[in-house]
Structure 1
Amino acid sequence: MTKKRKKKKSRIYIIWLMNLCLTIAVIAFFVWHESVPDVSPENALKTYMAHILNREYEQMYEMIDAGTSGNISKEDFVKRNSAIYEGIGVDNMKVHITSYDKEQKEICYETSMDTVAGNVTFENKASFILEKGKYKLIWNDSLIFPELDSTDKVKVSTTSAKRGQIIDRNGHMLAGEGVASSIGVVPGKLENKNDAISQLAELLEMKTEDIEKKLAAKWVKDDSFVPLKTAPKVNELKLMSIEPDQETLAEKDRQEKLLEIPGVKISDITVREYPLGEAAAHLVGYVQNVTAEDLEEHAGEGYTSNSVIGKSGMEGLFEKELKGQNGCAISIVDSNGNKKKIIVSTIVENGKDIKLTIDSNLQKELYEQFKDDKSCSVAINQYTGEVLALVSTPSYDNNDFIRGMSSEKWNALNEDENKPMYNRFRQVWCPGSTFKPIIAAIGLTTGAIDPNEDYGNEGLSWQKDSSWGSYHVTTLHAYEPVILKNALIYSDNIYFAKAALKIGERDMESSLTKLGFNEELPFDIKVAKSQFSNTDKIEKEIQLADSGYGQGQILVNPLHMACIYSAFCNEGNMIKPYLTYKEDAIPNVWITAAFTKDAAQMVLEDTKEVINNPHGTGYAACRTDITLAGKTGTAEIKASKEDTTGTELGWFSVFTTDENMDRPIMIISMVEDVKGRGGSGYVVKKDSQVLEKWLSDN
């Protein structure tokens, strides 16, 4: 063999040997790599726990070693973990590793998590095995809770908080616990099912398909009681009265017919009840079962799918105080239902009672007087600011929302042209002549009005000059002398148009702004802002003149009106209204020195004359036992001065004038559509009857 061949053979051998070494090195690398885990047990545990928060149960299963975990299937694993973690509402889970035994591959750690029953903290252990370079968790039920065995269950028990009552100043219930009748059927006892459902649908005013749907629910068995409708409980005492009301008789008759159907059952249930019904529905409001949107909006506030929530009125305004906090406990129970351990629990906190300044008898009396009208009334103690009544008519029965209102009834309420769902005491209205005492007080305070100046008898029609074109201010009475007191007694539009012109646009605007116009009323219930112009400025002379007698673009909320009138009784200071009862009714002033003390006193004396002088427009309310003051008003709502198709709003503001009497009161009522019904006189008559009842109970 030549040297050349030997050299070539040696070179091939070296290359082969190098390749072999490289191959061995690569194999060795992969063998080494496979034997070194890419994730530590500590990180594996934290990743596993993070999957719990994200509800990634299948990813959790991929991290366990099924063989050493009792060969649990993915389906059973997911079902077990999801039921427990989602059932207890786990959130904000944190894991703190306290130690790690490398030899045993065992981690000791502390877990903290928020649940529906509060925060849970416990110590636990987790074991791992190394499999193909990955740490796999050895899973068992105790990894969820240390005391949990495979046959145990985790039970969540809720104790519902009792909703607080809403009561009036005298302790009478406006909203609270009541009893109603739950009408339902036991399916297995129904005979001639189709005929029975048809009869039920007719008597309960339900659709047959709705009843069938309830009976077809998955939980329903032959011996189940399936509630169909909540109805008023028949009051036996009312039936025994000399003249039982027709509604009670009709409900008694209906329930007797229902009980004739085999399988029908009527039982008592506890419900939210509103004793005043229509008389206070706009004030008290109502509750309804929470919706998915409510649960999302109020997440973390303790609401469940079985909760109710205030939807309007006082029920909505004081929801946080009324609802309380449910009690909740998370327990481990064994296969026999025996409690092994309470993991965490919170004590039930019942809702707080809310006591209002409202007088329910006054509320009812005002409602009864005006229930057939489109109206609103407010009543306050003008010396303390306590709101005694807030009434809007026509109204609706808020109990219907508890018993379950049919879509037909809901549509009827919303389509009614009289708008029974419309809360009128929250709105603003053209005040008419009830605005004249306010103009008088502004004029006296600014010095624009001399109360003894005679403006001259202009007859029943007047205009400043020819620049007004065909526009004239008209009034109903001619009298002499034309001074402030007489102008209020006779409710003279011409006098107050002239007075407004003397005050001037800028002083009028600044004075009304000072009185809270274009400003939120500082009150629990949000009401519309009063205004003196659609543009926040009085832009024309005629508009200014019309504003003087409560027309033009003047709009006032009746509670705001009461606050302004309160200044006549409080040396020129406007009282702040409030609704939550206080044992010591200490008044709070909303606007200090709204008018000068002398101006307020003079207007008070002149408004006494409106009621007590035989020529006064409010004389029909005059009493011999006490001195009242006030002002009537009839606001014209029409497109133009010549319009004869418009309507009229009737107003009456009336109040007691003795601060030391037991129950002072100011009532302001507004009624729509009084044209042809006596104008403001219609309102005076009704408020007089309310005052008679109030004062006779004094």
Structure 2
Amino acid sequence: MRYGNHTHKKSKPIRILSAAAGIILTAGAISAIIYFCSDRGKVTPQELLAEYMDHIPEKEYAKMYAMLDKETAGDISEEEFITRNSAIYEGIGTKDMAVKVTEYDKDKRMVKYHTSLDTVAGNISFDNEAAFVKEGDGYRLVWEDSLIFPGLEADDKIKVSVTQAERGQILDRNDRVLAGKGTASSVGIVPGKLEDRERAVEEIAELLALEPEVIEKKLDARWVKEDSFVPVKTVAKASELDLLAVDPDDEAAVEARRQEKLLAVPGVMITDVEVREYPLKQAAAHLTGYVQSVTAEDLEEHAGEGYTSNSVIGRSGIEGLYEKELKGNDGYSINMVDRDGNLKKVLANVMVEDGQDIKLTVDADIQSALYEQFAGDKSCSAAMNPYTGEVLALVSTPSYDSNGFITGMTDEEWTALNEDEKKPLYNRFRQVWSPGSTFKPVTAAIGLDSGAIDPQEDFGNEGLSWQKDASWGSYHVTTLHEYSPVVLENALIYSDNIYFAKAALKIGAEELQESLQEIGFGQELPFEISMSVSQYSNTEKIETEIQLADSGYGQGQVLVNPLHLAGIYTSFCNGGNMIKPYLRYEEEPKEEIWIHAACTPETADRVLEGMKKVINDSNGTGYAAHREDIILAGKTGTAEIKVSKEDTAGTELGWFAVLTPDKEYEKPILVVSMVEDVKDIGGSGYVVGKDKDVLDAYLTH
């Protein structure tokens, strides 16, 4: 191992105790006394030792050399001295060094002392001694290698051995790997086998999408010899079978052909390397996140936490969230070896601690199924068990392949990801969105509990357009269906905007705001992953009557996080109690109530019955998800996103929230999906069809 790669915080001053005086002074303080004295002859060997040791944490090796007696120092030059001391002290990660004088033999001019220092392998402490020679009225230190460690001789070395901790895996609920150990291919060059270096480098650079200068810099590294294997780039592993792929444009086939061309260049070798791998690729990228090699900034920010230049660190998602648990701690051994490499002494040793596996409540099959359905859309989905709170999937599309951050992206690939108008790097399930009609069950519950709504009251048939009075000017609330009677259950079935606008006006702004605050609006979601906070207004309150009416059917300035909406929906099938969502797997899941009595049991039952009709009544907006074998409940939603009522160029968000309302059902699930830009592709019906396919696969297997 090369020394000097470890970072450490600035060490504290060395503490030194004079046995004769019985007082404690820092080495820095003693040094100050030394330089203050006009008569150098008054400085004792004990004080000189403190001054010498005080230079170590400051890396002032030249000053240490200046304190030596040159006649007894032998042939060691200043350069050799600096190299020797810096390599050892910095290589072992010296910090918090303390020295205590235990005895001084005036006749022999010998100072005995005890040293303690922390290293990458733990604490090292030892007794030692230093000899001094008289020079005029002062003293100089006799140099021996054993001043560093007792028993160290000039030809000996201090060797640091590192056993790298294995990073923990990220697993789904069925122990399927979401992030773990994988194999990639390291493309490298053996310089001595290149036949025409300039031409070969250009060809290799073109095949690997690198600049030739990048490869040349690697080949010119000081450690490189003619027979060295010089790694150039890590790429996905390919096999001969990939060359036989039916689809010549298949990703694996393309990679196999590229590696075949690389191997045709004399001097190129490809070898297997262990890497972090994400088997679900794009399907779980926003959930798992990814790791990258640490940077100099990381080493500085996380000094003392066991990171080295060879470490990786979680950048986002679960990799970042559980970095401390996943990382583990490297094992270190600091050994004294002779010139032939034989062990003389173990100075310190700390055993390796592999990282913990993080098991999630996620079901990889549901995660993948939702991704595959919505892969081409700008969408997000959250799935959970509505009775335990176990989150079964969190999906954002379009997505990216986390493996690309391991093998390394070209500048073109990175630019394409960042400039893609669909924003594949954007994590949509963490954001808040206008919920449209999926908000109507929430309005219904608040109206029932507050007494503002009588579920049997007929609000009257207003046609497809309505306004409260002339004070609204040209503004009207519109809806898509006429029906009779205009009561709560039918309003849910037909998703009537006018009914819920009237309901919001009956509830009133103050009551609506307070009720929404009680079910988590304006609050952080109690979940492992930080989510944007749901809101009912861009300001602290609903400002106008029109805004209040629009809020009743999920428009206005209402914005909801999909997982928060799923949490609210759990109250309808749990007697009014909202279940807390969670992501860390437990062998025996037990629901934790997030908000008690979000609504009354009677209200929860009534709203749930209406949501059942949305799916099972032939007039229901979610009837396309109807099943003969299993009763489902849910709500569709289409939210208009435009700058004004007259705006015809705006877009629409399509929603579908669906759940199994029977607590005894063996495979309970609640899915909330949102898709952007559904205006010309079927609105919420587009989302219903996609989720139906996911449920068909899940509920029947």
Aligned positions of 1:154-173 closer than 5 A: 154-173=158-177
* TM-aligned CA deviation for residue 629 of structure 1: 0.3
Say if 2:501 is the partner of 1:500. no
Instruction: State the structure with more CA Rg.
Output: 1
The C-alpha deviation readout for 1:525-564, integer Å capped at 9, x for no partner, is 1110000000020010100000000000000000000000
- Choose which of 474, 477, 487 in structure 1 pairs with 2:478: 474
TM-score (norm: length of structure 2): 0.93
- Distance in 2 between residues matched to 1:236 and 1:381, nearest whole Å: 43
* Residue in structure 2 matching 1:295, options 294, 299, 322: 299
Q: Which amino acid aligns with 1:675?
A: K
Q: Secondary structure at the match of 1:37?
A: helix
For residue 661 of structure 1, report the CA deviation from its aligned partner.
1.7
Contact residue 34 and residue 132 of structure 1 kept, 8 A = no
Instruction: Give, in whole Å, the separation in 2 of the partners of 1:34 and 1:408.
Output: 67
Q: Secondary structure at the match of 2:458?
A: coil
Give the whole-Å Cα distance in 2 for the aligned partners of 1:257 and 1:320: 41
Question: Structure 1 pair 60/492, CA: closer, same or farther in 2 (3 Å)?
Answer: same
Measured after TM superposition, the shift of residue 203 of structure 1 is: 1.8
* Counterpart residue number, 1:341: 345
Change (3 A) 1:105 1:35: farther
Per the TM alignment, residue 630 of structure 1 is displaced from its structure 2 partner at its CA by: 0.3
Q: Shift of residue 399 of structure 1? A: 0.3
Q: Quick one: percent identity of the two aligned structures?
A: 64
Q: Are the equivalent residues in 1 in contact too, given 2:240–2:256 (CA < 8 A)?
A: no
- How far did residue 135 of structure 1 move? 2.6
Residues 409/241 of structure 1: CA separation in 2 closer, same or farther (3 Å cut): closer
CA distance in 1, matches of 2:692, 2:320: 33
Q: Distance in 2 between matches of 1:598 and 1:132?
A: 100
Is 2:256 the counterpart of 1:252? Answer: yes
- Distance, in Å, in 2 between the alignment partners of 1:150 and 1:234 is 50
Q: Does 1:86 align with 2:90?
A: yes
Other-structure match for 1:16: none
2:318 corresponds in structure 1 to 314
The correspondence of residues 12-411 of structure 1 with structure 2, limited to 5 A, is: 37-70=41-74, 72-235=76-239, 246-411=250-415
Structure 1 residues 202 and 79, CA gap change in structure 2 (3 angstroms) = closer
What SS does the corresponding residue of 2:697 show, helix, strand or coil?
helix
Equivalence for 2:607: 603
In the other structure, the counterpart of 1:26 is: none
Tell me whether 1:448 sits opposite 2:452 in the alignment.
yes
**Structure 1: 5+ residue stretches without partners:** 1-32
Distance 1:587 1:481, change over 3 A: same
Does residue 1:458 correspond to 2:462, yes or no?
A: yes
Instruction: Check 1:370–1:35 CA distance in 2 against 1; reply closer, same or farther (3 A cut).
Output: closer
The code of the aligned residue for 1:41 comes to P
Take 1:264 and 1:439, find their aligned partners in 2: how far apart are those partners? 67
Farther off after superposition, 108-117 or 544-553:
108-117
Does residue 657 (structure 1) correspond to residue 692 (structure 2)? The answer is no
Specify the alignment match of 1:3 in structure 2.
none
Q: Any idea what SS the aligned residue of 2:406 has?
A: helix
Structure 2 counterpart of 1:10:
none
- Between the aligned partners of 1:298 and 1:35, the Cα distance in structure 2 is 46
Deviation at 1:235, TM superposition (A): 4.6
Report the alpha carbon displacement of residue 201 of structure 1 after superposing the two structures with TM. 2.0
Is 1:617 the counterpart of 2:601? The answer is: no
TM-score, normalisation: structure 1: 0.93
Report the alpha carbon displacement of residue 40 of structure 1 after superposing the two structures with TM: 2.1
CA contact (8 A) 2:244 2:253 kept: no
Q: Deviations over 1:438-467 (max 9, x none)?
A: 110111111111111111111111111111
Deviation, structure 1 residue 83: 1.2
Specify the SS of the correspondent of 2:217. helix
Decide whether aligned partners of structure 1 residues 238 and 691 sit closer, same or farther in structure 2, where only a CA change above 3 A counts: farther
Other structure's SS at 2:347 match: strand
Q: Distance in 2 between matches of 1:385 and 1:102?
A: 76
Q: Distance in 2 between matches of 1:689 and 1:480?
A: 32
Distance 2:294 2:570 in 1: 41
Q: Is residue 698 of structure 2 the alignment partner of residue 694 of structure 1?
A: yes
Q: Deviations over 1:598-634 (max 9, x none)?
A: 1111111110000000000000000001000000000
Look up the equivalent residue of 1:286 and give its one-letter code: Y
- Whether the 8 Å contact between 1:89 and 1:115 is mirrored in structure 2 is yes
Deviations 1:179-205 (A, max 9, x none): 111112211111222222222122222
Q: CA RMSD in A?
A: 1.5
Match of 2:432 among 419, 428, 431: 428
Alpha-carbon deviations, 1:638-659, whole Å to 9, x = none?
A: 0111110000000000011111
* Pair 1:155–1:317, CA change in 2 (3 A): same
Q: Which residue of 1 aligns with 2:9?
A: none
Stretch of structure 1 that moved more, 609-618 or 403-412: 403-412
Q: What letter corresponds to residue 518 of structure 2 in structure 1?
A: K
Q: Is the 8 A contact 1:129 1:137 kept in 2?
A: yes
Aligned mates of 1:209, 1:665 — CA distance in 2: 54
SS of equivalent to 2:41: coil
What is the alpha-carbon distance in structure 2 between the residues aligned to residue 75 and residue 261 of structure 1?
A: 43
The one-letter code sitting in structure 2 at the alignment partner of 1:177 is K
User: Which secondary structure does the structure 2 equivalent of 1:212 belong to?
Assistant: helix
Indicate conservation of the 8 Å contact 2:390/2:581, yes or no: yes
Return closer, same or farther for 1:34/1:427 CA change in 2, 3 Å cut-off: closer
8 Å contact kept, 2:248–2:254: no
Partner-residue secondary structure (3-state), 1:53: coil
Q: Distance in 2 between matches of 1:292 and 1:253?
A: 36
User: What does the per-residue CA deviation read over 1:406-434, in whole Å, with 9 as the maximum and x for residues that have no partner?
Assistant: 11111110011110000000000000000
Structure 2 CA distance for aligned equivalents of residues 412 and 304 of structure 1: 32
Determine the structure 2 residue equivalent to 1:15.
Answer: none
Q: Which residue of 1 aligns with 2:22?
A: none
Aligned residues of 1:428 and 1:529 also touching (Cα < 8 A): yes
| Pick aligned residue for 1:629 from 633, 637, 644 | 633
Q: Does 1:677 align with 2:681?
A: yes
Say if 1:169 and 1:358, in contact at 8 Å, map to a contact too: yes
Structure 2: distance between partners of 1:209 and 1:121: 48
SS for the counterpart of 2:72 is helix
Stretch deviating more after TM superposition (130-139 or 176-185): 130-139
> Is the 1:359–1:389 Cα contact (8 Å) retained in structure 2?
yes
Paired position in structure 2 for 1:550: 554
Inter-partner Cα distance in structure 2 for 1:685 and 1:357: 26
Q: Deviations over 1:135-166 (max 9, x none)?
A: 32112110100010011111111110011100
Deviation at residue 58 of structure 1 after TM alignment: 1.4
Residue in structure 1 matched with residue 27 of structure 2 by the alignment: none
TM-superposed deviation, 1:209: 2.0
CA contact (8 A) 1:57 1:81 kept: yes
Aligned counterparts of 1:662 and 1:204: Cα–Cα separation in 2: 51
**Corresponding residue SS for 2:525:** coil
The amino acid that maps onto 2:270 is I
Note if contact 1:35-1:132 (Cα within 8 Å) is conserved in structure 2.
Answer: no
Aligned counterpart for 1:644 among listed residues 627, 644, 648: 648
Mean Cα displacement is larger for which, 71-80 or 480-489?
71-80
Task: Tell me if structure 1 keeps the 8 A contact 2:655–2:672.
Answer: yes
